[in-house]
Amino acid sequence: MPRLTPLPRDAFDFAAARHLLVRAGFGGTPGMVQGLLSKGLDGAVDWLVDFEGESATGPDRIVQADTFDPRIKMQLTAADYEAYRKAREAGDEEAIAAFRRKQEQQERDDRGSMRSFEQWWLSRMIETPRPLEEKLTLFWHGHFAASYTTVENSWHMFRQNQFFRKHAAGNFGDLLHGIIEDPAMLRFLDNNRNRKGSPNENLAREIMELFSLGEPELLGRKRSPYRESDIKEGARALTGYTYRDNDFFFNEDQHDNGLKRILGRSGRWNGHDFVDMLLAHQSCSEFIAWKIYRAFVNDVPETPPRDDVRKVVVQLGKTLKGHKYNLKKTLGELFRSEHFYAAANRAAHIKSPIELVVGTVRDLGVPVRNVDTLRTAAARLGQRLGHPPSVKGWDGGRAWINTSTMFLRQNTAVWMLTGRDAGGHPWPNDTTPFDPMPLVEQLERQGEIDPDEATVYLQRLLLACPVDDARSQAIRQVFTLANDRVNADSLTAALCVLTALPEYQLS
């Protein structure tokens, strides 16, 4: 089986450890990076990918069923719907209006539950001792993208999130098999309407085009690995795959058990047979390798990618297939590889809004202040958890950055550091202080910190690439204006300058 050339053990330095912690997680303080470095390359990678050994509790805000489960807050019952039907038949406007008020209240309650879920997940990413678990859960949420806007059921979205977390670094085959039984996805792609004699092609199309085999132009293929007829036959295989209440339900009466021809094979295939054929196809492992590469190695704006990048992706696809789609082993090999740490792949990933806000907390140790404000900030920057813009998920890469979002990113960082907006106005009900001094405590000599040393150190600690002299001097100038004193105020001001740099948006 082809292997990715390992990084020499003595090349795993502080910068490499930071690169690993940012890409395979959301970054961390200097102490966290140093702790990862002390483990050595193999120990560091093992600690990240074998996250089951770490505490599973995550943040204190453990999910309670009564927070998200709509069955507990359910106001409308089968009897209510029956009464509504009779009221419509009888033209009872008062009863109809009462039913609709109850329905609207239930919808408001569920939207509130969805916001609570978003806050919980964001808190989990910030506080988790298992960063790769949450990074992968976010990755799968963007890959198997379903939006609450269509699903309109917070419990189904939460259950899908837990499914992604359970299989985050497990086996991709389990994820692909599981997604065709996931109520949120079945609703999102209308497979609950996929019936014998009247097939709905949405899930079959997206499972081939976006979830497993990919669009041909992404990897420079000369032709598509599947045909329109494969999609139509795949839809027949998925007939009867639906849900009842909160659980998957296979409606055998609505399943088309006739002969089907998919990817050159004929049989009375069902949905799981269909998935097995997709997993066996060579294009599947290559496409998933490509998605992993873009998420963890390099955004690679070129489509199709350069020949050297394509060769690495093909090699990674063979590694994934050779490990029988075991994600933990594949990621472990990638994170140990020389290619992962290559200079061309550093500062080659634009932080998503979630990576930006979570990473700023984890890197700098700033107080969370208000998790709902962070949630709202990420949404305004283009990434609201549980609400991907389409079944394609978020485009990522350069799509994250424009004039408007860059300004909002800078303002968000200022608020996180100071509790004030860009105009210097304090945020309502937020008096949480931030002490940045632990970031530079190792630089202290006889009770003082050299401003030149602090300027260089902050860039090394928080930026994935060097900046030009003018930008470096802009940081240094902050200390000059503070009479060359590095204290809490001047350091916070320097961090405001640093986080406003374009280079801070890269990891």
Q: Is 242 helix (H, G, I), strand (E, B) or coil?
A: strand
The two three-digit tokens of residue 49, written as one number: 């990918």
Name residue 301's amino acid.
P
C-beta separation of 66 from 72 below 8 A? yes
Separation CA 70–CA 26 (nearest Å): 32
Going residue by residue through the chain, which has 507 residues, state the pLDDT in tens, using 9 for 90 and above: 567 899 999 999 999 999 999 999 999 999 999 999 999 999 999 999 999 876 544 333 344 444 555 454 555 667 777 887 888 888 888 877 877 888 788 788 889 999 999 999 999 999 999 999 999 999 999 999 999 999 999 999 999 999 999 999 999 999 999 999 999 999 999 999 999 999 999 999 999 999 999 987 766 777 889 999 999 999 999 999 999 988 999 999 999 999 999 999 999 999 999 999 999 999 999 999 999 999 999 997 677 778 888 899 999 999 999 999 999 999 999 999 999 999 999 999 999 999 999 999 999 999 998 899 999 999 999 999 999 999 999 999 999 999 999 999 999 999 999 988 666 667 666 667 899 999 999 999 998 999 999 999 999 999 999 999 999 999 999 999 999 999 999 999 999 999 999 999 999
Q: Which residues of 461-485 are buried (b: 16+ CB within 10 A; e: fewer)?
A: bbbbeebeeebbebbbebbeebeee
Measuring CA to CA, which residue among 378, 325, 322 is closest to residue 354?
378
What is the per-residue DSSP string for 311-331?
A: HHHHHHHHHHHHTTTBHHHHH
Is residue 27 classed exposed, middle or buried when 0-12, 13-18 and 19+ CB atoms within 10 A define those classes?
buried
What is the per-residue DSSP string for 145-193?
A: ---HHHH--HHHHHHHHHHHHHTTTSBHHHHHHHHTT-HHHHHHTTGGG
Separation CA 425–CA 455 (nearest Å): 27
Give the bridge partners for 265, in sequence order.
262
Separation CA 99–CA 166 (nearest Å): 39
Is residue 379 classed exposed, middle or buried when 0-12, 13-18 and 19+ CB atoms within 10 A define those classes?
middle
